Amino acid sequence: MTIEEQIRDIVARISRVDKSIITRESTFKDIKADSLDVVQALVAVEELFEIEIPDEVAQKFQNFGDFVSYVESKVAKAEKV
């Protein structure tokens, strides 16, 4: 399972939506995720991938694709260490 698929599963489960509606262009507003859902998704992703997503970075995510790209880059950096 790719990083994107794992994150999509987490966001879908927490937001209680069908994961098929979540695309890279989807915003959290599009999938009707409230601020608590977003925080829970961030924490779950941080725990799963053992990374940290600073609040100031998370606030800049425009859509699901931004979120995935950030996590992919953090995971790739962690693997190089």
Catalytic residues: 34
Nearest alpha-carbon partner for 6 in 52, 81, 75, 79: 75
Buried-exposed string 40-79: b where 16+ CB fall within 10 A, e elsewhere:
bbbebbeeebeeebeeeebeebebbeebbebbeebeeeee
